[in-house]
Amino acid sequence: MNTLSKDTRTSRQIVLDAIHELAGLDHAITRENLQATTGLTQHIIDDHVSRMVDEEGTLRRVRPGVYELVRGIGKMPNVYFTDIGEDSSLVIEVDDCGKLVINDARVARKIAERLSGNYAQNLMLEMKYQFGMVSQDLMLELKQAKRELSQRIAELEAEKSNLARKLAERTHQSSLGLGFDEPATEQR
For the stretch 7-16, pLDDT in tens is 778 888 888 8
CA angle 156, 162, 168 (to 5 degrees): 135
Query: Which distant-in-sequence residues (6+ apart) come within 8 Å of 127 by Cβ?
Result: none
Q: Reduced to 3 states, what is the DSSP secondary structure of residue 114?
A: helix
Query: What's the predicted TM-score (pTM) here?
Result: 0.38
Q: Residues 6 or more apart from 83 whose CB is under 8 A from it? A: 89, 90
HSE toward the beta carbon, residue 157, CA cutoff 13 A:
6
Per-residue pLDDT at 1: 46
Which is nearest to 103 in space by CA: 125, 79, 85, 119? 85
pLDDT at 4 over 70: no
Our CA angle for 134, 139, 143, nearest 5°, is 150
User: By C-alpha distance, which of 62, 58, 40 is closest to 49?
Assistant: 58
Over residues 52-109, the pLDDT tens digits come to 888 877 888 888 888 888 766 456 677 888 888 777 678 888 877 788 888 877 887 8
Among 126, 129, 107, which Cα is nearest to 118's?
Answer: 126
Confidence band, pLDDT 50/70/90 cuts, at residue 155: very high
Per-residue pLDDT at 21: 86
Contact status, residue 22 vs residue 29, Cβ threshold 8 Å: yes
pLDDT digits (tens, 9 = 90+) for 97-143: 788 888 877 887 888 887 788 788 888 888 887 887 788 888 888 98
3-class DSSP assignment, residue 33: helix
Phi, psi (5° rounding) for residue 99?
-130, 140
Q: How far apart are CA 125 and CA 176, in angstroms?
A: 76
Is the pLDDT assigned to residue 182 strictly greater than 70? no
